[in-house]
């Protein structure tokens, strides 16, 4: 079914996360699809991860969410998070240099996944995106899902926008250089960096918001894996093998992938990448 033919107010449901902060639940048959957040300041509204939902995102935002001028930010380069950036070519679009590099390469390799001709504004660790009375602080973290990742801390309401590097349903430690040990180190560094300023985590997949306490349970999950408690093999991922999103499906069906669940956290990892090389 082409959901784009539905009335625009039936294509999304807006769900409040915090004041002036919305999760847009877009209709799709594929439960793996990410969902955008809209973060509204006094002067601008920013769409965090435009996603690849084949829906009228911009029209919905402008008619039902905000009349502020729009900005866009991407947490990482993956096409299911960045494809719809083309709808906002006249707006500032923020991403890391690594994301931009990969998108430029993909414009040649998979142009159907990277429509548009925009050139983004490059951000990095410590940069601030000012929405007017509300700021997003850019924080390096952590490259275990994708080396192109960055997270954004809303210093007004304490929301941490983590992309696919941290979520409740399944964190996929996809990057070739990732390991459970490195992921744990990065979680500890993130905790130190946010220093109590975040109260919730807002990922685009599998539920938002999540209580910040899940950071601690995920650190414990890493400790369990490193102590030798092996994750499950038969439910290693809800989406890989069903909807590959262009990733290396072979890798996730090679007998080495496990899912470790602990206190609501869930890590999908490779048994050959538990400790740092
Ligand atoms: Fe991703």
**Is 46 domain-assigned?**
yes
Q: Is 143 left (phi over 0), alpha (psi -120 to 50) or beta?
A: left
Residue 72 and residue 92 in contact, taking contact as beta carbons nearer than 8 Å: yes
Residue 219 backbone dihedrals phi, psi, to 5 degrees: -60, -45
Cα 228 to ligand 1 centre (Å): 27
Residue 134 backbone dihedrals phi, psi, to 5 degrees: -155, 125
**Is 275 domain-assigned?**
no
- What is the C-alpha separation between 68 and 119, in angstroms, rounded? 22
Cα 42 to ligand 1 centre (Å): 30
Reported pTM: 0.94
Cα 77 to ligand 1 centre (Å): 7
How would you write the pLDDT of the chain (277 residues) with one tens digit per residue? 789 999 999 999 999 999 999 999 999 876 678 999 999 999 999 999 999 999 999 999 999 999 999 999 999 999 999 999 999 999 999 999 999 999 999 999 989 989 999 999 999 999 999 999 999 999 999 899 999 999 999 999 999 999 999 999 889 998 889 999 999 999 999 999 999 999 999 999 999 999 999 999 999 999 999 999 999 987 766 665 544 455 556 666 678 889 999 999 999 999 999 999 8
Residue 88's domain spans which residues? 3-270
Domain count, the chain: 1
Residue 163 and residue 203 in contact, taking contact as beta carbons nearer than 8 Å: yes
**Is 277 domain-assigned?**
no
**Is 211 domain-assigned?**
yes
Cα 156 to ligand 1 centre (Å): 26
**Is 115 domain-assigned?**
yes
Identify the bridge partners of residue 13 per DSSP, sorted by sequence position.
25
Q: Could you tell me the CATH number of the domain that includes residue 150? A: 3.60.15.10
**Is 171 domain-assigned?**
yes
Cα 145 to ligand 1 centre (Å): 7
Cα 78 to ligand 1 centre (Å): 5
Neighbours of ion ligand 1 (CB under 5 A): 78, 164
**Is 260 domain-assigned?**
yes
**Is 104 domain-assigned?**
yes
Cα 146 to ligand 1 centre (Å): 7
């Amino acid at each position: 079914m082409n959901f784009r033919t539905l009335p625009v107010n039936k294509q999304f449901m807006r769900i409040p996360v915090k004041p002036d902060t919305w999760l847009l639940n877009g209709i799709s048959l594929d439960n793996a699809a990410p969902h955008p957040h809209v973060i509204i300041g006094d002067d601008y509204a920013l769409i965090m991860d435009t996603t690849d939902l084949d829906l009228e995102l911009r029209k919905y935002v402008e008619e039902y969410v905000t009349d502020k001028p729009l900005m866009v930010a991407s947490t990482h380069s993956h096409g299911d998070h960045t494809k719809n950036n083309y709808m906002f070519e006249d707006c500032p679009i923020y991403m890391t240099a690594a994301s931009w590099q990969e998108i430029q390469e993909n414009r040649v390799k998979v142009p159907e996944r990277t429509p548009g001709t925009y050139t983004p504004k490059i951000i990095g660790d410590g940069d601030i995106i000012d929405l007017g009375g509300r700021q997003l602080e850019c924080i390096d973290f952590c490259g275990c899902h994708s080396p192109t990742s960055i997270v954004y801390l809303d210093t007004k309401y304490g929301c941490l926008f983590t992309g696919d590097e941290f979520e409740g349903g399944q964190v996929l430690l996809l990057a070739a250089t990732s390991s459970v040990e490195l992921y744990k180190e990065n979680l500890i560094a993130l905790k130190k960096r946010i220093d109590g300023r975040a109260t919730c985590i807002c990922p685009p997949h599998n539920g938002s918001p999540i209580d910040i306490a899940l950071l601690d349970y995920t650190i414990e999950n890493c400790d369990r894996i490193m102590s030798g408690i092996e994750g499950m093999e038969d439910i290693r991922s809800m989406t890989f093998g069903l909807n590959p999103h262009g990733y290396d499906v072979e890798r996730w069906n090679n007998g080495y992938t496990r899912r470790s669940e602990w206190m609501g956290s869930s890590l999908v990892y490779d048994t050959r990448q538990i400790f740092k090389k």
